[in-house]
């Protein structure tokens, strides 16, 4: 009501540790909290890869191994990638659309504050017999699993509520809070990606919650949903689980694609190629993504008449995905490329996501899937999509918006060292997994036949490089945040709205409500002050 | 429709192109997620109804629950009347209709409690069959939503008693109404698939 006090953003670090309704504070809370879970999930991965570096069981026993990969997957998916991307959405959406905050600031804070208790539940579950069923928690195994499985289910339900509330907030914000002149046709592509993601969060997540309710009822109240002998049906869980968990892949990758779509035109100094196609393909992926879940169940004894339709819908997703890839290539084609750290990570995203995406088409093909399902081929595919893809994009975004968020520049040399370690580590860790998978090595087993030794050893080396690669990143982030050179408002000469205010932005983002008159990627067309590409879009 | 939209926005929110204020849009989105949640539970119920039929389903009492359904439907009508009253600026009318809504909702829950206890006496329990499991889970979650609605209605009534809401400002009543109608509509679906089909 009265004049809002403008906070001194860099000095007042205490606000990050309490209830705060500023979307920028909440965004940072999301990112920092989830990064801690990322480190924890990474630690579990290092233990897994240490066990698998050589055949034989030398570090953990079978049950411990099951707990390791179950919680590794659950942490990485539910407490890292999904919420860290929601953190980007929180920080960026109001800035990018010229609003002073989200549509529901208090709900926004609630969405964040559901995450720490959910994480604590999952960590506590380690001490009461951790979940050991894989992140998929297939029944009836997850009904008879130790007590930690109940805490696990509760944790995922909490994270689901957080995700649903976040999704509602994103959609309401984008629809009702856009600045004057910011039509849907001028919306930054990250915002389009978040809009598609939010749709999935709102529509798909509750179905997983319903499934988890049934599992929890079976475990706590003794209901019979998944008791096979008396009419219960385990396939029901798989349907409910994958109805969410396949779209969840797009929840984990559509915002990442949005981040890449922001970064490429800035560092190619060219307009984005195919703006409308990229925006529309995000929505198409979201909608198609809800119609393909049973391709995870080709080997589960589903009705064979349903297999072919699910195979076809799954493969169709390659079309909008391909539209994006070619649009990105069209964007950098003939551009004046600046290989900064965010640009390197964005290019890394494209190359590695491409491998993950194409092997996804292999897996959608029923005859191939029946042979490689539950082998390391699937593990490799998933990690190329989510680590080579999503995590690369998260790093790209963290570097790209670091000056905006902290008001200081990161160290470019450390950033590049981080990129190369990450890029080499990712390929070294996951490429051999395709091969051992094709050779028949099953996933989720603590031991393997001696002929798989050398490839597994390579994968473990890659995993250790990935673990070490977080050191330069953390050092860079912490030291640069504290003592890095001050960043200007727009160090990259970008055109989206978040760069048109100070770094970091003031309490309500913009001194006056912005008025938008053009698209966000018109590089070289009406910005003579910036360094331009020599010829606009000669490749067309 | 947009008269209560101006309360929150100040100068920043310009994107009213779709004619929606964010509170109502947020509520609709929340209800969409609720539809999907119930959709999951309903899918489970129907799956077991078709594939694991149980003689226990024959123990359901359609007349009792039919009467209960009528009670709940009436409560949707009273919410509409309450909203109409405050639109005309009559806070007293709103409060009377909200009180009636709470009464009817409580009566529905009492009816459900009676139904549950008679079924338990006849041996239909959460653990007796997949029918019992899915029946009590589905209707129980609906009952919990009715209970939430009662809490919400009570707080709306309390706010009205403290002088909130007017002919111009009644977004809170409207949003509660959306939720309450949603709970009713879900029950119509449940009544149909559980008791009639």
Do A219 and A153 contact (CB within 8 A), yes or no? yes
How confident is the model at residue A92, as a pLDDT? 98
Do B194 and B45 contact (CB within 8 A), yes or no? yes
Please determine, for residue B13, whether its predicted confidence score (pLDDT) is greater than 90. Answer: no
Does B90 fall in a domain? yes
Confirm whether the ipTM is greater than 0.85.
yes
DSSP for A24-91, please give it. HHHHHHHHHHHHHHHHHHHHHHHHHHHHHTSSS--S--HHHHHHHHHHHHHHHIIIIIHHHHHHHHHH
Mean pLDDT of A328-351: 97
Mean pLDDT of A63-88: 97
| pLDDT tens figures, A157-187 | 999 999 999 999 999 999 999 999 999 999 9
How confident is the model at residue A529, as a pLDDT? 35
Using pLDDT thresholds of 50, 70 and 90, give the confidence band for residue A528: very low
Using pLDDT thresholds of 50, 70 and 90, give the confidence band for residue B67: very high
- Note whether A210 contacts B44, CB cutoff 8 Å: yes
| Buried residues in A99-131 as b, exposed as e (16+ CB within 10 A) | bbbbbbbebbbbbbebbeebbebbbebeeebbb
Does B192 fall in a domain? yes
DSSP A390: I
Query: Into how many domains does chain B fold?
Result: 1
Contacts of A173 in chain B (CB under 8 A): 22
Mean pLDDT of A309-313: 94
Using pLDDT thresholds of 50, 70 and 90, give the confidence band for residue A537: very low
**Which residues of chain B have a Cβ shorter than 8 Å from any chain A Cβ?**
9-16, 18, 20-22, 25-26, 29-30, 32-34, 36-41, 43-44, 47-48, 51-52, 54, 126-127, 129-130, 132-134, 136-137, 141
Mean pLDDT of A381-395: 98
Sequence-distant (≥ 6) Cβ neighbours of residue A278 within 8 angstroms: A189, A192, A257, A261, A272, A323, A324, A327
Mean pLDDT of A196-204: 97
How confident is the model at residue A50, as a pLDDT? 97
Closest CA to A520 of A92, A198, A167, A104: A92
Mean pLDDT of A295-299: 93
Q: Quick one: fold of A21-500?
A: Cytochrome C Oxidase; Chain A (1.20.210)
Sequence-distant (≥ 6) Cβ neighbours of residue A506 within 8 angstroms: A6, A7, A9
Name the burial class of residue A395, with classes exposed (0-12), middle (13-18) and buried (19+) by CB atoms within 10 angstroms of its CB.
Answer: buried
Name the burial class of residue B108, with classes exposed (0-12), middle (13-18) and buried (19+) by CB atoms within 10 angstroms of its CB.
Answer: buried
3-state secondary structure A316-345: HCHHHHHHHHHHHHHHHCCCCCCCCHHHHH
Q: Could you state, in order of their start, the residue ranges of all structural domains in chain A?
A: 21-500
Of B13, B54, B137, the CB nearest to A176: B13
Please determine, for residue B1, whether its predicted confidence score (pLDDT) is greater than 80. Answer: no
3-state secondary structure B61-111: CHHHHHHHHHHHHHHHHHHHHHHHHHHCCCHHHHHHHHHHHHHHHHHHHHH
Of A179, A223, A232, the CB nearest to B14: A179
Compute the distance between CA of residue A379 and CA of residue A459 in angstroms, rounded to an integer.
12
Helix axes B91-121 and B130-161, enclosed angle (nearest 10): 160
Mean pLDDT of B60-65: 95
Using pLDDT thresholds of 50, 70 and 90, give the confidence band for residue B14: very low
Altogether, the residues listed in chain B come to a count of: 197
Asked if omega into B185 is within 30° of 0 (cis), the reply is no
Q: What is the CATH number of the domain that holds B144?
A: 1.20.120.80
Does B71 fall in a domain? yes
Global pTM reads 0.92
For B154, the domain range is 38-48+59-196
- Note whether A214 contacts B26, CB cutoff 8 Å: no
| pLDDT tens figures, A104-147 | 999 999 999 999 999 999 999 988 999 999 999 999 999 999 99
Mean pLDDT of chain A: 93
Residue A534 has phi, psi (to 5 degrees) of -60, -50
DSSP A178: P
| pLDDT tens figures, B108-124 | 999 999 999 999 999 99
Lowest-confidence segment of A13-27, A83-97, A212-226, A421-435 by average pLDDT: A13-27
Using pLDDT thresholds of 50, 70 and 90, give the confidence band for residue B16: very low
């Amino acid at each position: 009501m009265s004049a809002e006090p403008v906070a001194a953003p860099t000095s007042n670090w205490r606000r990050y540790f309490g209830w705060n309704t500023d979307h920028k504070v909440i965004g940072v809370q999301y990112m920092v909290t989830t990064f801690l879970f990322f480190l924890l999930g990474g630690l579990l991965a290092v233990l897994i890869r240490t066990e698998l570096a050589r055949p034989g069981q030398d570090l953990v026993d079978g049950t411990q191994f099951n707990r390791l990969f179950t919680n590794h997957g659950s942490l990485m998916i539910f407490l890292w990638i999904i919420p860290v991307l929601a953190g980007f959405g929180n920080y960026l959406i109001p800035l990018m659309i010229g609003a002073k905050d989200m549509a529901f600031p208090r709900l926004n804070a609630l969405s964040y504050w559901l995450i720490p208790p959910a994480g604590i539940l999952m960590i506590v579950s380690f001490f009461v017999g951790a979940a050991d069923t894989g992140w998929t928690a297939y029944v009836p195994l997850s009904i008879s699993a130790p007590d930690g499985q109940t805490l696990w289910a509760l944790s995922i339900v909490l994270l689901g509520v957080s995700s649903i509330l976040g999704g509602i907030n994103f959609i309401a914000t984008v629809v009702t809070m856009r600045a004057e002149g910011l039509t849907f046709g001028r919306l930054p592509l990250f915002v389009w990606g978040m809009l598609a993601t939010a749709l999935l969060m709102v529509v798909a997540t509750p179905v997983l919650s319903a499934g988890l309710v049934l599992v929890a009822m079976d475990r706590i109240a003794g209901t019979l949903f998944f008791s096979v002998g008396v009419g219960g049906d385990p396939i029901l869980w798989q349907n409910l689980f994958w109805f969410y968990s396949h779209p969840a892949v797009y929840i984990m990758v559509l915002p990442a694609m949005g981040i890449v779509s922001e970064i490429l035109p800035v560092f190619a100094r060219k307009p984005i190629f195919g703006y409308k196609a990229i925006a529309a393909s995000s929505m198409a992926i979201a909608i198609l993504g809800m119609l393909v879940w049973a391709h995870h169940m080709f080997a589960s004894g589903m009705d064979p008449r349903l297999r072919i339709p699910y195979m076809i819908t799954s493969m169709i997703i390659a079309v909008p995905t391909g539209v994006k890839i070619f649009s990105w290539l069209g964007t950098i084609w003939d551009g004046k490329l600046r290989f900064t750290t965010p640009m390197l990570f964005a290019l890394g995203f494209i190359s590695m996501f491409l491998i993950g995406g194409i092997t996804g088409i292999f897996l959608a093909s029923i005859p191939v899937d029946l042979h490689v399902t539950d082998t390391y081929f699937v593990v490799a595919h998933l990690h190329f999509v989510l680590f080579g893809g999503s995590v690369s994009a998260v790093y790209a975004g963290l570097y790209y918006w670091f000056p905006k968020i902290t008001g200081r520049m990161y160290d470019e040399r450390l950033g590049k060292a981080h990129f190369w370690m990450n890029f080499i580590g990712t390929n070294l860790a996951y490429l051999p997994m395709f091969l051992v998978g094709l050779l028949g090595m099953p996933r989720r087993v603590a031991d393997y036949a001696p002929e798989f030794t050398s490839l597994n050893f390579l994968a473990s080396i890659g995993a250790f490089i990935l673990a070490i690669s977080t050191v330069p990143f953390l050092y860079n982030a912490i030291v640069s945040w504290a003592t890095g050179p001050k960043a200007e408002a727009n160090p990259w000469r970008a055109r989206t709205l978040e760069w048109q205010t100070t770094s970091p932005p003031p309490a309500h983002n913009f001194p006056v409500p912005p008025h938008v008159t053009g698209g966000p990627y018109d590089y070289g067309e009406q910005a003579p002050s910036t360094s331009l590409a020599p010829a606009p879009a000669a490749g067309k | 429709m947009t008269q209560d939209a101006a309360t929150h926005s100040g100068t920043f929110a310009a994107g009213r192109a779709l004619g929606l204020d964010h509170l109502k849009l947020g509520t609709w989105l929340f209800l969409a997620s609720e539809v999907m949640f119930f959709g999951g539970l309903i899918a489970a119920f129907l799956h077991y109804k078709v594939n694991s039929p149980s003689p226990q389903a024959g123990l359901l009492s359609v007349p009792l629950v039919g009467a209960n359904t009528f009670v709940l439907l009436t409560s949707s009508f009273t919410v509409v009347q309450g909203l109409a009253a405050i639109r005309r600026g009559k806070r007293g009318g709103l409060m009377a209709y909200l009180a009636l809504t709470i009464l009817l909702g409580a009566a529905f829950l009492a009816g459900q409690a009676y139904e549950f206890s008679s079924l338990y006496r006849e041996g239909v329990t959460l653990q007796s069959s997949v029918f019992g499991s899915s029946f009590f889970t589905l209707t129980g979650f609906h009952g919990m939503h009715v209970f939430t609605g009662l809490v919400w209605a009570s707080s709306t009534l309390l706010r009205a008693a403290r002088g909130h809401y007017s002919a111009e400002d009644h977004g809170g009543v409207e949003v509660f109404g959306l939720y309450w109608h949603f709970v009713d509509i879900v029950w119509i679906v449940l009544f149909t698939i559980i008791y009639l089909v």
